[in-house]
Amino acid sequence: MELTELHQIAEHERAQQKPVRIRCCAAAGCVSSGSLAVKQAFDRAIAEQGLSDRVQACSVGCLRLCCAGPLVQMDPSLELYEEVTPEQVPSLVASLLPAAAPPLSAPGASPGIPSAKRGDPQAPFFTRQMPIVLENSGIIEPERIESYIAAGGYRALHHAIREMSPAQVVECITRSGLRGRGGGGYPTGVKWSLVAKMPGQRKFIVCNADEGDPGAFMDRSVLESDPHRVLEGMAIAACAVGATQGYIYVRGEYPLAIHRLEVAIKQAKKLGLLGAGIFDSPLNFRIDLRIGAGAFVCGEETALIESIEGRRGMPQVRPPYPAEKGLWDCPTLINNVETFANIAPIINKGAEWFAGIGTAKSKGTKVFALAGKIRHTGLVEVPMGMTLNAIVEELGGGAPNGGTIKAVQTGGPSGGCIPASLLDTPVDYESLQALGSIMGSGGMIVMDQTTNMVEVAKFFMEFCMDESCGKCIPCRAGTVQMYRLLSRIVAGDASPAEVKQLEMLCDMVKHTSLCGLGQSAPNPVLSTLRYFRPEYDRALKNGRIALPLR
């Protein structure tokens, strides 16, 4: 494979494209509300109305406004349609005809079907986003590598291999200021240079796609919408640190993401973009999938390594860190899906471009999955430093049904609840940490005034209790006791002494647990105690919680 071939594929692909493309969302959210039938209906209607030469329907990735699926967007007009049903399709296609015939007379259209609901592509939900990771999402066809190449794909890999030295690649990522998107926020360039500096011929790249936080679906969407982007990021990393084998550890609950990755790996291999001698260089890099079996803790890097090696997924004491001793004791670079998805744009557009986005210490954008009591449920990608308020009120449209937002939960079971009064905080690693929460992988659960915060804490504690691997005592037995205390508080059976005991346990579990799961398990409790103490106290005083329960 040469650069010219890449250009040829891109040109051929563009030449094949029809003037009008109907983009049908084929990510898991819309698929679950019936988007595959909508796509088939479009194919049928286009043929029946004789428009095959000018119009084509494409299965694209996530169009982001997941609550309004199945979503359909017209290209180039960018008209957006929400909750599209197959019955509405014939008239939609007919409306594309130049001298728009009366829609209902279109062949295949049935009378009495209300026309498709128009969405607003100029809503702040779309216009205030800054897509870098998601720039191809909803535009390209994730199951066709040509579509990715036509959008400029794999050019960064070529550039990194042929025009840059491995050290320059690492240096570029370092200068960009990119930090790990899995939650910790460790500088990606530093991690890469650690692995690059390690001696030895055998090194590994691992993509952590074991997204398990309740309410988080960013990584799933990226994998379903633009799988090649992740493969390209991993291959660039391999070239930078000198690895020959990569693994994507993806959770088994994501069958569509797994399927698209399988297709993507196969296509990339076929074109020589993965495998031996990539772009006629000495770089050999292959990628294999490893499917998680449903354990949240396997998202913890040392447990993930154990699991890939075929053992019980249990966290190990660090140091040694995986960069030094990872898979089969070899230096291993582990990054999250979104981190890898940021690599190609950084190589293409330069470190300075990336470093110019975001805040002083948090560069670039972050993808959040908006969920809970919010009007626009879906995916948003915003520059770091945007306030939480802007995200939930302007992009998210606030609470539905005239409700008011009470708190926003970030970081999943390891994060915390930020009260409405503090939502003016800019989104960056340090600010969220100062509020007792974390950036996390990007789940953002919005709660309204009907939400009982003690119950929220109880929910997350139950999650951690069920997902504890059982290796270390504080997490295994401590979460059980904390869950019990929270249940008693919610039931109105607890005494003030028991709240004190809960705080004592939180402190101990946080400081003595072996891995991040245990160390952060108390966070939802600590943050609700910090901001919503009266709800705990009320539960004690009244015997029963006075707030309306969901």
- Here the tokens at position 519 are 């160390």
Among positions 360, 504, 546, 550, the unique one binding other proteins when judged by CB under 8 A = 504
* Shorter beta-carbon distance to other proteins: residue 389 or 468: 468
Among positions 511, 530, 541, 544, the unique one binding other proteins when judged by CB under 8 A = 511
Query: Cα(337)–Cα(457) distance, rounded to whole angstroms?
Result: 28
* Shorter beta-carbon distance to other proteins: residue 223 or 464: 464
CB of 423 to other proteins, least distance (A): 29
Among positions 36, 113, 477, 547, the unique one binding other proteins when judged by CB under 8 A = 477
Q: Is 65 helix (H, G, I), strand (E, B) or coil?
A: coil
Instruction: By CB under 8 A, tell whether 473 contacts other proteins.
Output: yes
Site for other proteins in 313-332 (CB under 8 A): 316-317
The label of the residue with tokens 């008693």 reads 488
CB 224 within 8 A of CB 257: yes
- Here the tokens at position 324 are 């030094």
Count of residues engaged in binding other proteins, rule: CB under 8 A: 30
Query: Cα(171)–Cα(168) distance, rounded to whole angstroms?
Result: 5
Instruction: By CB under 8 A, tell whether 494 contacts other proteins.
Output: no
Helix and strand element counts for the chain (H, E): 23, 14
* Shorter beta-carbon distance to other proteins: residue 248 or 472: 472
Instruction: By CB under 8 A, tell whether 503 contacts other proteins.
Output: no
Among positions 135, 146, 428, 467, the unique one binding other proteins when judged by CB under 8 A = 467
Instruction: By CB under 8 A, tell whether 481 contacts other proteins.
Output: yes
Among positions 329, 352, 466, 537, the unique one binding other proteins when judged by CB under 8 A = 466
Query: Cα(393)–Cα(399) distance, rounded to whole angstroms?
Result: 8
Instruction: By CB under 8 A, tell whether 513 contacts other proteins.
Output: yes
Among positions 128, 286, 361, 484, the unique one binding other proteins when judged by CB under 8 A = 484
CB of 316 to other proteins, least distance (A): 8
With 0-12 / 13-18 / 19 or more C-beta atoms within 10 angstroms meaning exposed / middle / buried, residue 360 is exposed
Element (H, E) at 430: helix 429-434
Query: Cα(98)–Cα(294) distance, rounded to whole angstroms?
Result: 51
Cα 159 to Cα 3, 166, 174, 350, distances in angstroms: 9, 11, 17, 11
* Shorter beta-carbon distance to other proteins: residue 79 or 467: 467
Element (H, E) at 204: strand 204-209
CB of 326 to other proteins, least distance (A): 17
- Here the tokens at position 72 are 């359909």
* Shorter beta-carbon distance to other proteins: residue 10 or 489: 489
Which residues of the chain form contacts with other proteins (CB under 8 A)? Answer: 295, 297, 312, 316-317, 465-474, 476-481, 484, 501, 504-505, 508, 511-514
